[in-house]
Amino acid sequence: MRMLIAIWFGLMIVQDLCAVPEGEKELRAAYQARQKAVWNLKLKPAWSPDGMEMVYKHEKEGGWEFLKVHLKDGKKGRVFDHQAVAKVLEASPDKLPIKALRYGSAGLEMQHKGEWKKLDGEKVPKQQETKSESQSSQQSPDGKWEVRIQDHNVILEPRKGGETRVLTSDGNSDHGYQGVLWAPDSSRFVVWKMKKGQRRMVKMVESSPADQLQPKLHSLRYDKPGDVIDTQAPYVFFTDSRPVLVPDYALLKDPFQVNKLAWRSDSQRLTYEYIERGFGKHYVLEADTEERKHRVLVREESATYIYVWGNGFRHDLNGGSEILWLSERDGWNHLYLLDGKTGGVKKQLTHGNYVVHKVVRVDEEAGEVILIAGGKESGQDPYYKHWYRVDLKTGQMLHLTPAEGTHSVEFSPDGKYYVDSVSEVHRAPRHVLRRAKDAAEVCVLAVCDLEALKQTGWREPQPFVAKDRDGKFDIWGSVEFPDDFDPSKKYPVIENIYAGPHDQHVPKRFRVWNGSTTDLAQRGFIVVRIDGKGTGKRCREFSHFCYKNIADAGFPDRIAWMRAVAKVVPQMDLERVGIYGGSAGGQNSTGALLFHGDFYKVAVSDCGCHDNRMDKIWWNEQWMDWPVGEHYAAQSNVTHAHKLKGKLLLTVGELDRNVDPASTMQVSNALMKAGVDHKLIVVPGGGHGAGEGLYPKWQRIDWFEKHLGSAE
């Protein structure tokens, strides 16, 4: 995420250095007008230490005010005398230049001009950070022993005198020991033994560095599908000279990752997790270091894949006697309570035709969890995020966010109250204070009014649902219209695509401007976004459709959806359909012209992972499996480049560290060899997402305007 933010800011700097087209000035002016026409889009609470009050910034026509609310009864009032503070800050009382409020060492503090101050304007001294005396990870908890890793081998030293023992001699730079985790009773410890893989390095040339004339060569560690990767396994050593307990490698066959070491409180049992290469297996393994045995404690297996990092969750309860575990084993991602000794299911805590998105918090003392799920509320968009509290003993669920829409929640520090913010793409945010005990509404904190926004000409996006290619699943998407939409005209249609299987991608919360989607709508296009089969946050059958099938990208579902929507919105001209996207969306948008060129006529593809063998290992082996087989080449855009129909614009940053820029170059090369006309823009110094920079952005807009035309 930090990298993406850095890239965005870098692109904004480039934009400032470039000549700004008149069209861009118009878009920026429209964006600013929309921003000024709405207030209370977001609400950031500050909770009092005594748990009695909450303060927040409340926006209103002509300015804003700072309010406090009594949590128990919802009574509200101003936090301070705005006139008095305005005099201190030499500002308008209706537009106090206070960025935020917080409860700090000086009581209630305000952020003003980048500094925290008291309400009287006096600067709050910076608090000295206190560093806790954390015990070295290599020193035993009782302080009697210390482990050193020297020349890739393990050495045990008594700290109060005695014989130093060299515990291993087989470690080397390619297969050595590293990291130490002591058992609680200091009688033993575990060390990883790491075996190096090939460690592929991708090299990129920066053609136009800012600090020198000559180009620079950059190297980046970048494992790709099929590469020999680093592997590690846990070895247990004892302080009483017992022989090392080696791993059971039969349980660690073809590992992608072995991690998350944890000792049980008895200092006898050790748990760790294993993910198989290709993601078909995810185990919690247990080593009984007294019995000197390893076993599979929790076994999760799939004929397709297990999306560990997106749909997975594990939390050990009561010292490991029970385990909370997320699994798709019944076809939907649900939360299970497992027996920590047998790994068997004690209780399925959530069940039904809906998906648990995330476990937010586990409160062992209260015996409950807070989680986010989608699809449980009938009649609503299944992607809306709703929050629930689940009792670990009974499985009883309390719905914390009863209003229709997608929700974000912020709890008070003591967990007794929370701010519930809800919106939809076409409905403005509403912020409510609720009581956690029963989800009862205490008071409405703020509402975003859209009347002023409508006066700017804004047209609300419209969510639509239609059936998939087989008429089985609901496909959800949204349509965005030009502000000057004329029902008597036919408009070209552009799809903004991102079909990455790791999530769903159609926006669900309210925004005044949806980035490039709104940019294109303002230029006279009807723009759509769709979550087709193979994308995430749905049932196993729907989402796992992508398995070894990434090139499908749900296109038949997307086309069926657009045809269904066009019956309701006849102004959509399905003879003039374009498509664009970046990264996985770059792969998808080019694929649209390769595999569905009779429907899609124009495409713009930025930084695409056009061949899944060229992209990063962890993302592509997740969906395409391992070993790398013929199915990889069969779904590569390079393999099918000669089939391209329509007009294609490729953009790529020469320093893309997310997707190897050579992937785009190889597609262009294949198109050239096949004699297929296309356009390629390489952005000097550009990283991932360089196609969103000012110049390539307007090349994209011009490309669609030239080849799709305008409203007729």
Domain count, the chain: 3
335 in Cβ contact with 369 (< 8 Å): yes
**What's the rounded mean pLDDT across residues 115-132?**
76
Strand pairing category for 334-339 and 201-206? unpaired
pLDDT grade for 130, boundaries at 50, 70 and 90: very low
Which tens digit of pLDDT belongs to each residue from 255-301? 999 999 999 999 999 999 999 999 999 999 999 999 999 999 999 99
283 in Cβ contact with 296 (< 8 Å): yes
Is residue 326 assigned to a domain? Answer: yes
Q: Look up the CATH number of the domain holding residue 338.
A: 2.140.10.30
Backbone region of residue 625 per phi and psi (left: phi > 0; alpha: psi in -120 to 50; beta: other values): left
3-state secondary structure 225-283: CCCCCCEEEEEEEECCCCCCECCCHHHHCCEEEEEEEEECCCCCEEEEEEEECCCCEEE
Is residue 428 assigned to a domain? Answer: no
Which tens digit of pLDDT belongs to each residue from 640-657? 999 999 999 999 999 999
Which tens digit of pLDDT belongs to each residue from 427-477? 999 999 999 999 999 999 999 999 999 999 999 999 999 999 999 999 999
- Give me the amino acid identity at 644: L
- End position of a domain, from candidates 366, 381, 396: 381
- How many angstroms separate the most distant Cα atoms in the chain? 92
- End position of a domain, from candidates 361, 381, 401: 381
Query: Do both 482 and 599 map to the same domain?
Result: yes
What are the φ/ψ torsions at residue 303 (nearest 5 degrees)?
Answer: -75, -15
The Cα angle at residue 704 between residues 691 and 695, in degrees rounded to 5: 35
Is residue 394 assigned to a domain? Answer: no
Which tens digit of pLDDT belongs to each residue from 471-515? 999 999 999 999 999 999 999 999 999 999 999 999 999 999 999
Contacts of 242 (CB under 8 A, 6+ apart): none
Query: Do both 72 and 99 map to the same domain?
Result: yes
What are the φ/ψ torsions at residue 347 (nearest 5 degrees)?
Answer: -160, 135
Query: Do both 150 and 243 map to the same domain?
Result: yes
Look up residue 314 and give its two tokens: 């594990």
Q: In what order do the strands lie in the sheet containing 417-424? A: 406-411, 417-424, 427-435, 441-447
Size of the chain, expressed as the number of residues it contains = 712
Is residue 496 assigned to a domain? Answer: yes
Spell out the long-range contacts of 213-221 with Cβ–Cβ below 8 A and sequence spacing 24 or more.
Answer: 218/655, 220/657
Q: What is the mean pLDDT of the chain?
A: 95
The pLDDT assigned to 131 comes to: 47
- Three-state DSSP class for 556? helix
d(CA 118, CA 84): 13
Query: Do both 554 and 681 map to the same domain?
Result: yes
Contacts of 697 (CB under 8 A, 6+ apart): 516, 519, 691
The pLDDT assigned to 127 comes to: 61
Predicted confidence (pLDDT) at residue 126 exceeds the cutoff of 90: no
Query: Do both 533 and 610 map to the same domain?
Result: yes
Predicted confidence (pLDDT) at residue 125 exceeds the cutoff of 90: no
The pLDDT assigned to 569 comes to: 98
Q: What are the Cα distances from residue 367, in Å, to 37, 317, 492? A: 45, 10, 55
The pLDDT assigned to 5 comes to: 38
Look up residue 634 and give its two tokens: 């069969």
d(CA 123, CA 104): 12
Is residue 489 assigned to a domain? Answer: yes
Query: Do both 589 and 551 map to the same domain?
Result: yes
Contacts of 24 (CB under 8 A, 6+ apart): 694, 698
Predicted confidence (pLDDT) at residue 134 exceeds the cutoff of 50: no
pLDDT grade for 7, boundaries at 50, 70 and 90: very low
Query: Do both 159 and 282 map to the same domain?
Result: yes
Is residue 356 assigned to a domain? Answer: yes
Is residue 127 assigned to a domain? Answer: no
Q: Which residues pair with 409 in a beta bridge?
A: 420
Range list of H helices, 164-237: none
In the chain, % of residues over pLDDT 90: 93
Contacts of 209 (CB under 8 A, 6+ apart): 215, 216, 685
Distance of CA 680 to the CA centre of its chain: 29
Query: Do both 18 and 58 map to the same domain?
Result: no
d(CA 104, CA 430): 28
Q: What are the Cα distances from residue 398, in Å, to 33, 361, 406, 537? A: 41, 15, 17, 21
Query: Do both 105 and 192 map to the same domain?
Result: no
Query: Do both 525 and 469 map to the same domain?
Result: yes
User: Looking at 119-206, which runs of residues are DSSP E strands?
Assistant: 145-150, 153-158, 165-166, 175-182, 188-195, 201-206
Look up residue 675 and give its two tokens: 């004699």
d(CA 473, CA 634): 27
Query: Do both 197 and 335 map to the same domain?
Result: yes
Q: Which of 614, 690, 698 is nearest to 652 (CA)?
A: 690
Look up residue 389 and give its two tokens: 């509290």
- End position of a domain, from candidates 381, 400, 435: 381
Q: For residue 117, give the H/E element and its range.
A: strand 115-118
Q: Look up the CATH number of the domain holding residue 504.
A: 3.40.50.1820
Is residue 181 assigned to a domain? Answer: yes
d(CA 287, CA 180): 16
Query: Do both 112 and 241 map to the same domain?
Result: no
Look up the domain containing 550 and give its range. Answer: 2-35+461-708
Strand pairing category for 572-582 and 491-496? parallel
Place of tokens 């045809």: 563
